[in-house]
Amino acid sequence: TMAHSKALLVLENFIGGKFVPCSSYIDSYNPSTGDVYCKVPDSGKEEVEAAVKAAKDAFPIWSSKSPLERSQILNKLADLIEHDLEAFAQAESKDQGKTITFARTVDIPRAVHNFRFFASSILHHVTECTEMPSMGCMHYTSRAPVGVAGLISPWNLPLYLLTWKIAPAIACGNTVVAKPSEMTSVTAWMMCKLLEKAGVPPGVVNIVFGTGAKAGEALVCHPDVPLISFTGSTLTAQRITEKSAPHCKRLSLELGGKNPAIIFDDADLSQCIPTTVRSSFANQGEICLCTSRIFVQRGIYNEFLKRFVAEAKKWKTGNPSDPTVNIGALISKEHLQKVRNYVKKAQAEGARILCGEGVDPLALPPGNQKGYFMLPTVITEVKDESCCMQEEIFGPVTCVVAFDTEEEVIKRANGVKYGLAATVWSGNVGRVHRVAHRLQSGLVWTNCWLVRDLNLPFGGMKASGIGREGAKDSYEFFTEVKTITIKH
């Protein structure tokens, strides 16, 4: 309709400090209404080529600035995003479907913090030096930015995860070409409008919008992009590994998870239950760190299940801009269908659905009838081998099963291809350490969830990824080290 097309937001690529229109566009949906509301550039080889050229041209000047100069620019950018926090949060909620509350309190504050954090941490790295008196030699290391970094990010935490890559990459002196998810491009585009004011020179940050198959792959295959930092699914990571292999690119891969929560009979359930509901359903369950397999020790199993389901039922699903809503819309119609199908498959296999999908009525406000909503869903009586216990669902669905012994639960928790994040609940400190050491998981939270210190490594084992990110790890990834020997 006319009214419709008038209101469409049209994004442009940001190349060499300028907004550049594209010859073709992709429709982007508002997940909470099902309407197309935005046009995203459908970039390909040509656009990526222009962006890489701009980034290459900007590299000599940017890489020769002092860490302090770069730090000041990053801090300025953080201030500017923070100043517009509400506008960014509104945009993220509309574009992604997440609740305004989550965007306001998690996504955008973290994007601001990413720039502040790396603005600070870049000032504190030291290189190494060793001496070899018998040879009359000393050795030291020097680190330099690598060049043009290719950054590819997913749709679940759009600006949060994109800035988690842009901040360390440019803090270290690289220039970047970034490609956000074609489903959530708006906040990246909004950030581009602030770069000049922050003092980021043209060409240091270039953003090319479009699909993974076209724009993403062109970036991965570009011979002048020696390093790719990717967050997304394991399947895409395999493709990126294959496509980048002829160039021997440096890869950082942050991938999916099938994260267990292990709840022993001495756990403080008053803490554990609300936190495990949150770890299962926060951001519609669309966080790589979300819990999706809950192992509960037999003695407290029935009590846990009763209280857990009661707590899950309190979570309100509906219009993301309503501040009382806990669960917004899922990212797309296709994704909603995929998540629902997992619940159907579980049912067909004989599992029981205790609440949510297919069990409870979902009442939506009139404007949200065509949105991609789903109630928080709890599945039980499900076998460890079933697809709901093995595959990443990435929606508001969690499975609860019973276990008897520590030895048994460690084996079962490790019995998936993934290894990203685990939580352990117990009042026994010895057990907590023992179990944490034996879990195949890049992150283990005990008696809490999602408490992060950005100084420490973040990343997954097994099919959950390669490499780590964090203060020191990102610095190492985004710089090339050289060992220099001096004879005196």
* Residues 218, 164, 470: CA angle, nearest 5 degrees: 115
Residue 300 touches ligand NAD, criterion: CB under 6 A: no
Q: State which of residues 72, 75, 211, 447 lies at the interface with ligand NAD (CB under 6 A).
A: 211
Tokens of 97: 């479907």
CB of residue 50 to ligand NAD, shortest distance in Å: 18
Residues 74-133, interacting with ligand NAD (CB under 6 A):
none
CB of residue 337 to ligand NAD, shortest distance in Å: 14
Residue 396 phi, psi dihedral angles, 5° rounding: -80, 60
Mark the segment that binds ligand NAD (CB under 6 A) among 33-41, 131-139, 205-213, 313-321.
205-213
Choose between 257 and 470: whose C-beta lies nearer to ligand NAD: 257
Residue 395 touches ligand NAD, criterion: CB under 6 A: no
Instruction: State how far the Cα of 229 lies from the Cα of 177, in Å rounded to an integer.
Output: 11
Q: State which of residues 43, 121, 236, 291 lies at the interface with ligand NAD (CB under 6 A).
A: 236
Choose between 264 and 394: whose C-beta lies nearer to ligand NAD: 394
Residue 232 touches ligand NAD, criterion: CB under 6 A: yes
Residue 394 touches ligand NAD, criterion: CB under 6 A: yes
Q: Where are the alpha helices (DSSP H) in 124-233?
A: 158-171, 186-198, 217-221
CB of residue 304 to ligand NAD, shortest distance in Å: 26
Residues 237-296, interacting with ligand NAD (CB under 6 A):
239-240, 254-257, 288
Residue 336 touches ligand NAD, criterion: CB under 6 A: no
Q: What residues are annotated to the active site?
A: 254
CB of residue 267 to ligand NAD, shortest distance in Å: 26
The closest residue (CB) to ligand NAD is 212
Q: State which of residues 28, 93, 96, 156 lies at the interface with ligand NAD (CB under 6 A).
A: 156
* Residues 96, 260, 276: CA angle, nearest 5 degrees: 65
Element (H, E) at 40: strand 35-41
Q: Nearest to residue 224, comparing CAs of 58, 70, 13, 21?
A: 58
Q: Nearest to residue 205, comparing CAs of 236, 259, 162?
A: 162
Q: State which of residues 42, 92, 182, 357 lies at the interface with ligand NAD (CB under 6 A).
A: 182
Q: Strands, DSSP E only, in 90-136?
A: 129-132
Per the DSSP assignment, residues forming a β-bridge with 205 are: 176
Are 252 and 161 in contact, with CB atoms under 8 Å apart?
Answer: no
Mark the segment that binds ligand NAD (CB under 6 A) among 77-85, 178-186, 308-316, 361-369.
178-186
Are 22 and 207 in contact, with CB atoms under 8 Å apart?
Answer: no
Q: State which of residues 92, 95, 392, 473 lies at the interface with ligand NAD (CB under 6 A).
A: 392
CB of residue 239 to ligand NAD, shortest distance in Å: 4
CB of residue 101 to ligand NAD, shortest distance in Å: 20
Instruction: State how far the Cα of 247 lies from the Cα of 243, in Å rounded to an integer.
Output: 8
Residue 470 touches ligand NAD, criterion: CB under 6 A: no
Residues 448-467, interacting with ligand NAD (CB under 6 A):
460, 465
Choose between 236 and 280: whose C-beta lies nearer to ligand NAD: 236
How far are the Cα atoms of 142, 301, 398, 429, 437 from residue 266, in angstroms, in the given order? 50, 12, 22, 11, 19
Instruction: State how far the Cα of 324 lies from the Cα of 316, in Å rounded to an integer.
Output: 7
User: With CB under 6 A, what is the number of residues at the site for ligand NAD?
Assistant: 31
Residue 473 touches ligand NAD, criterion: CB under 6 A: no
Residue 44 touches ligand NAD, criterion: CB under 6 A: no
Give the full edge-to-edge strand order of the sheet including 397-403: 352-355, 377-380, 397-403, 291-297, 259-263, 421-425, 443-446
Q: State which of residues 42, 95, 217, 473 lies at the interface with ligand NAD (CB under 6 A).
A: 217
Residue 443 phi, psi dihedral angles, 5° rounding: -135, 135
Per the DSSP assignment, residues forming a β-bridge with 424 are: 262, 446
Mark the segment that binds ligand NAD (CB under 6 A) among 5-13, 34-42, 197-205, 235-243.
235-243
Are 260 and 279 in contact, with CB atoms under 8 Å apart?
Answer: no
Residues interacting with ligand NAD, by CB under 6 A? 152-156, 161, 179, 181-182, 211-213, 216-217, 220, 231-233, 236, 239-240, 254-257, 288, 392, 394, 420, 460, 465
